[in-house]
């Protein structure tokens, strides 16, 4: 069998490992070579339209093995490069939000016209927003859990629920910003207001990006256009979403609950 035919067979969807968009390399070949040749061809659970290569020998996986069993792994580390990249990105995001939080901490007392944290924050309202974002983390982890069980229906339901909860949070933030502005706290009113709007605004933008990612992912799942390993893609979006949640855990305590 030529290299090209192997490449074609492995993406046939007949139970062969789904290698996504990973480059073909030594380990890829060994993965294919490990699959027993011969035997009775049996289409995998997620067979695709191109099923004309049955009997090629790449279809003889155990009944519980499918292309979605494992994401493509790096030949060097044996881990997912995508996941590693996401964790690196999240590690670097800590530096971004660390900078914004410490800037706010330095300037929180630099107020003008008597509009400081103690005068404008509405703790009960922000507490409800925090609860909503916290619950969105629960729905996100349930979506990831459903993805690993290949329960596509529940996965979509939880993804949309997460997006809705995120939108509720962003809506609450927009309401909060509007009411602060009406009270006279503009972006350039004081160092406190600039650092507050920058910090919470950056977080809000991250939540908005997360919502777009969730909705885009749901649409792609619906149209079956998710590249690579579905459960891994859901997990990566989930990691980003949880990160947005943990940043809010810190902001809620340091910015809202601790008085200036």
User: Cβ of residue 8: shortest distance to other proteins, in angstroms?
Assistant: 19
User: Cβ of residue 68: shortest distance to other proteins, in angstroms?
Assistant: 11
Residue placing its CB nearer to other proteins in the complex, 37 or 219: 37
Residue placing its CB nearer to other proteins in the complex, 36 or 186: 36
Interacting residues with other proteins (CB under 8 A) = 26-27, 30-31, 33-34, 61-62, 65, 69-71, 73, 75-80, 83-84, 87-88, 90-95, 97-99, 101-102, 105-106, 109, 123-124, 127, 130-131, 134-135, 137-138, 140-142, 145, 148, 231, 235, 238-239, 242-243, 245-246, 249-250, 252-254, 257-259
Residue placing its CB nearer to other proteins in the complex, 181 or 252: 252
User: Cβ of residue 254: shortest distance to other proteins, in angstroms?
Assistant: 8
User: Cβ of residue 180: shortest distance to other proteins, in angstroms?
Assistant: 19
User: Cβ of residue 35: shortest distance to other proteins, in angstroms?
Assistant: 9
From residue 88, alpha-carbon distances to 70, 84, 94, 236, 243 in Å are 21, 6, 10, 12, 12
Residue placing its CB nearer to other proteins in the complex, 94 or 216: 94
User: Cβ of residue 82: shortest distance to other proteins, in angstroms?
Assistant: 11
d(CA 147, CA 230): 7
Residue placing its CB nearer to other proteins in the complex, 117 or 181: 117
Q: What is the sign, positive or negative, of the torsion defined by CA atoms of 209, 249, 96, 71?
A: negative
d(CA 130, CA 252): 7
């Amino acid at each position: 069998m030529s290299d090209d035919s192997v490449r074609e067979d492995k993406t046939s969807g007949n139970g062969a490992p789904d290698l996504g968009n990973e480059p073909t390399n030594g380990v890829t070949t060994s993965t294919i070579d490990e699959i027993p040749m011969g035997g009775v061809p049996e289409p995998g659970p997620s067979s695709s339209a191109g099923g004309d290569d049955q009997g090629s020998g790449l279809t003889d996986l155990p009944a519980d093995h499918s292309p979605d069993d494992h994401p493509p792994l790096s030949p060097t580390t044996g881990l997912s490069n995508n996941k590693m990249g996401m964790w690196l990105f999240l590690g670097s995001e800590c530096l971004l939000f660390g900078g914004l939080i410490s800037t706010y901490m330095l300037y929180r007392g630099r107020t003008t016209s008597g509009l400081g944290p103690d005068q404008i924050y509405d703790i009960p309202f922000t507490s409800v927003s925090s609860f909503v974002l916290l619950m969105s983390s629960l729905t996100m982890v349930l979506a990831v859990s459903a993805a690993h069980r290949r329960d596509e229906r529940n996965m979509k339901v939880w993804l949309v629920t997460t997006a809705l909860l995120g939108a509720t949070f962003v809506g609450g933030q927009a309401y909060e910003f509007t009411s602060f502005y009406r009270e006279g706290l503009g972006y350039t009113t004081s160092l406190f207001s600039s650092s507050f709007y920058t910090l919470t605004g950056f977080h809000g933008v991250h939540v908005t990006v997360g919502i777009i990612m969730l909705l885009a992912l749901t649409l792609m799942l619906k149209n079956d256009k998710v590249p690579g390993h579905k459960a891994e893609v859901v997990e990566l979006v989930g990691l980003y979403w949880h990160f947005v949640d943990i940043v809010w855990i810190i902001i809620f305590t340091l910015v809202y609950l601790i008085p200036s």
